[in-house]
Amino acid sequence: MPMPWRRKRHGTPLDGKPLPKALFGLAWRLSAGDQVWLCLLSISVALLDTAPIEVQRRMINHAIKESGMRSIIMLALTYAGLVLAQGLTKLLSNIYRSWVSEHGVRVLRSYINDGVDPAPGNETDASTREGTQISMIVAESEPIGAFVGESLSEPLLQAGIMVSVVSYLVYLQPVIALVLLGVYGPQVVFVPLIQRAINRRAQARIATLREASAGVLSENGTAGSTDKQEGRFERVFELNMGVYKLKYSMNFLMNLCHQLGIAVILGVGGWFVVIGKTEVGTVVAFISGLHTVKDPWDDLATWFQTMMVTRARYDLMVKTVEGRISGSGAVAPED
C-alpha cells in the first residue's frame, strides 16, 4: 500500500457516483487506504506518548535516592530520544492527515462544480440554485473535506493516548487513578448536551448563509433587498455569538474539572507519600499524566464537536444534491 506522495491519481473516487449517505462513508470512499496508514501512525504516537511519563518518574526517584549522575543522565537522554521520536512521528502523521484532508476538499469541489444541479425539480430560480452551488463549493466543501483526514485517525490517536496513559496510572496507583474518573466523568455528560445546542445553531447558520448567497444573485437591486440581507447577516451574527458562548462555557467547565483534579491528586498523593504508600515520583507522574491526558481529551471533545457540525453540513449537502432541499435550505416536500 504506497504512501500518498508515491501514488499516482487517476480520476477521483466520486467520478460518476452519487455522494455517500453518511459522512464516514464519504471519508472511507475518498481515503480508505490512507486511513489505514494514518491509524498505524496514530497508534505509534499514542504508545510513544506514555513512555516519557515513566522516565520522568524514574528520574525523580533516582534523584531523591541519590543513585548517581550516570543513571540520571542516561534517563535524561532516553527521555529526549523518546520525545524526539514521538514528535517526528506526530509531524509525519499531521502532514499526511493534512494531505488527505486537502485531497477530500479538492474532490468535493470538483464533484459539485462538474454540472451538479443543487436542487433539480424544485421550484427555485436559476439564481438561487447558482447561489447555493457557489456556497457549497466555496464555503461548505472545505470543512467537510477537511474532516476526511481526521475522521478515523484523530479519535484513534487521542483515545489511544488516554487509554495508554490511564492504564499506566492505574498500574502505578489504582486509588489515585480513581481521581481521573471524577475529573472526566462529568464531562461525558455535559459535553454532548452543549454540543447538541451548538449543532442546532450551526445548521441554522448554514441555511441562512445559503439564503444570503442566493440573495446576492437573485435580489440585487430589488426593493427591500438590502434590508433582507442585513436581516440575514444579523441572524448569522446572533447564531455565531450563541455558538461562541456555548463553546467557551464548555471550555471553562472542562478546565475547571482539570484543575480540581490536580488539587485532589496533590492532596491524596501527598497524604500517600507521608504514610509511605507511594513515592514522590509517582505523584509527579500522576500530575504529568493528568496534563498528558488533558490535551487528548480536549482534542477528542473538539473532534466530536467538529464531527457533529460537519455531519450536519454534509447531510444538508447530500439532501441538496439529491433535490430534497431547496437553495434556501428548506426541505422539499416528500412524494
pLDDT score, position 335: 34
Angle at CA of residue 163, ends 144 and 282, nearest 5°: 135
- How far, in Å, are 54, 117, 270 from residue 286 at the CA level? 10, 56, 12
Residue 114 lies in a domain: yes
Residue 47 lies in a domain: yes
pLDDT score, position 10: 46
Per-residue pLDDT tens for 21-44?
888 888 888 888 888 898 999 888
Angle at CA of residue 48, ends 43 and 53, nearest 5°: 135
Residue 186 lies in a domain: yes
Residue 8 lies in a domain: no
Helix (H) or strand (E) holding 20: none
Q: For the chain, how many structural domains are there in total?
A: 1
pLDDT score, position 332: 41
CATH number at residue 279: 1.20.1560.10
Residue 282 lies in a domain: yes
- How far, in Å, are 3, 37, 72, 84, 152 from residue 48 at the CA level? 22, 17, 20, 10, 19
Residue 210 lies in a domain: yes
Host domain of residue 110: 18-321
Placement of cell 507522574 in the chain: 285
pLDDT score, position 323: 66
pLDDT score, position 151: 87
**pTM > 0.75:** no
Residue 256 lies in a domain: yes
Residue 327 lies in a domain: no
Give the integer Cα–Cα distance in Å for 61 and 220: 73
Residue spans of the chain under pLDDT 70? 1-16, 62-68, 115-135, 138-139, 180, 217-224, 323-335
pLDDT score, position 331: 39
Give the integer Cα–Cα distance in Å for 14 and 318: 13
Per-residue pLDDT tens for 266-282?
777 778 777 777 777 77
